């Protein structure tokens, strides 16, 4: 299978490790505040928790917009090697911005959670502001119960942010949109008190209260009263990368909808093949959670070059080279790529998910959520797709 991988995951680094420069990435000159105060003061006392490369990217975007320097970013490392590799590279960029990065092997065995939480407790108690990327994460929900920070900021974790805000506004339990079932298993019930406490912490205090909740987002959301919203326009990304060199061919962006059990694999592969033929695409940018077996089959059946990005796609596209047309299924990038590629000639198109592609195990909310992701995307071309077209 013609796969273009990223480099191997480098060994773990400590927060004191000097920043290493990514090849082809210009070094950022640290900003200084115009008010004469210590520029690090804006970020001092801020603790950010991330579990994915996109979350870390959006923490950097938030810090740039808020002019907050010298954050402490805690990476709660997952098992997936592709995610770990991208996180390592994003950590290098964070260090280059002057932030401290603490890498936690949070899932490295049965005793890892106890060690991780024990080691983070002093930081949690001192923090004045907490920034999180995934309010659905049980790890993050547990950590939120241990801090007395009065300022909480949620940065985008992709389209999941839309569901989080919707559930928060309705006062519902925090449950990922693609998850099926009642969510009332033994583990769910055991964790319920922590989840409920975290949800209360993420709910804005009554008017005049001392606790604030902020949202930093590129997603189209309607927030409940009391949530302070700051728009993410990817100014940091555009300032650090590009503009990209454009190729003549189109590129297709992959999705993990098959891996999450939402979309049937055969239907998905047929759709990718049809899109490649229709738009003369040559490359397929794989989602970090796509399985090797599926990608091998996709390459064999479509002839596309499968690329495993070593950074979030917003940065890959901004660095280039990238196609003049990027075709995606409903996902975060249909909202973020037009912002990251602002000022270029790149067009972004989104392909609808036909209801016939959904599996029998897909959540009842899946179709409505995916339609909402597509329907609210701005500055993109919409590609209605039928079962007959997918069948070739």
The domain ranges of the chain are: 41-232, 240-390
Domains 41-232 and 240-390 fall in the same CATH topology: yes
Dump pLDDT digits (tens) for 317-354: 999 999 999 999 999 999 999 999 999 999 999 999 99
Kindly indicate whether the domain formed by 240-390 is annotated with CATH number 2.30.30: no
What predicted TM-score, i.e. pTM, was given to this entire model? 0.85
Dump pLDDT digits (tens) for 264-279: 999 999 999 999 999 9
In what order do the strands lie in the sheet containing 227-231? Answer: 100-104, 72-76, 46-50, 129-132, 151-155, 212-217, 227-231
Instruction: Give percent of the chain with pLDDT exceeding 70.
Output: 82
User: Hunting for tokens 């927030």 — which residue is that?
Assistant: 223
User: Hunting for tokens 């480099």 — which residue is that?
Assistant: 7
Q: Could you say which architecture CATH assigns to the domain 41-232? A: 3-Layer(aba) Sandwich (3.40)
Q: Which of 27-36, 46-55, 174-183, 186-195 has the lowest mean pLDDT?
A: 27-36
Longest dimension (CA), the chain: 64
What region does 58 belong to: left with phi over 0, alpha with psi -120 to 50, or beta?
alpha
């Amino acid at each position: 299978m013609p796969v273009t991988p990223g480099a191997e995951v480098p060994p773990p680094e400590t927060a004191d490790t000097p920043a290493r420069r990514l090849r082809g990435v210009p070094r950022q000159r640290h900003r200084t505040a115009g008010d004469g105060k210590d520029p690090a003061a804006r970020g001092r006392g801020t603790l950010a928790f991330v579990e994915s490369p996109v979350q870390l990217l959006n923490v950097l975007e938030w810090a740039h917009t808020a002019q907050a320097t010298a954050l402490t970013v805690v990476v709660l490392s997952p098992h997936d090697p592709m995610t770990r590799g991208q996180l390592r590279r994003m950590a290098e960029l964070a260090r280059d911005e002057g932030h401290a990065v603490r890498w936690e092997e949070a899932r490295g065995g049965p005793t890892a959670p106890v060690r991780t939480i024990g080691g983070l407790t002093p930081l949690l108690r001192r923090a004045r502001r907490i920034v999180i990327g995934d309010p659905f994460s049980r790890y993050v929900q547990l950590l939120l119960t241990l801090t007395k920070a009065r300022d909480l900021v949620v940065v985008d974790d992709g389209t999941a942010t839309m569901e989080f805000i919707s559930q928060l506004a309705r006062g519902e339990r925090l449950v990922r949109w693609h998850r099926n079932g009642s969510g009332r298993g033994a583990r769910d019930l055991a964790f319920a008190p922590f989840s409920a406490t975290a949800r209360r912490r993420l709910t804005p205090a009554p008017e005049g209260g001392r606790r604030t909740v902020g949202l930093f987002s590129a997603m189209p959301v309607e927030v409940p009263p009391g949530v302070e919203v700051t728009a993410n326009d990817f100014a940091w990304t555009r300032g650090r990368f590009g503009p990209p060199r454009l190729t003549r061919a189109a590129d297709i962006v992959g999705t993990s909808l098959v891996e999450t059990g939402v979309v049937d694999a055969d239907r998905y592969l047929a759709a990718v093949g049809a899109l490649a033929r229709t738009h003369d695409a040559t490359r397929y940018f794989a989602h970090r959670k796509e399985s090797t077996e599926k990608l091998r089959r996709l390459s064999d059946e479509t002839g596309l070059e499968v690329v495993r990005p070593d950074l979030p796609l917003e940065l890959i596209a901004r660095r280039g080279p990238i196609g003049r047309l990027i075709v995606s299924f409903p996902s975060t990038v249909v909202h973020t790529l037009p912002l990251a590629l602002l000022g270029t000639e790149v067009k972004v198109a989104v392909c609808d998910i036909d209801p016939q592609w959904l599996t029998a195990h897909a959540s009842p909310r899946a179709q409505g959520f995916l339609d909402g992701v597509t329907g609210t995307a701005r500055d993109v071309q919409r590609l209605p797709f039928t079962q007959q077209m997918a069948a070739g």
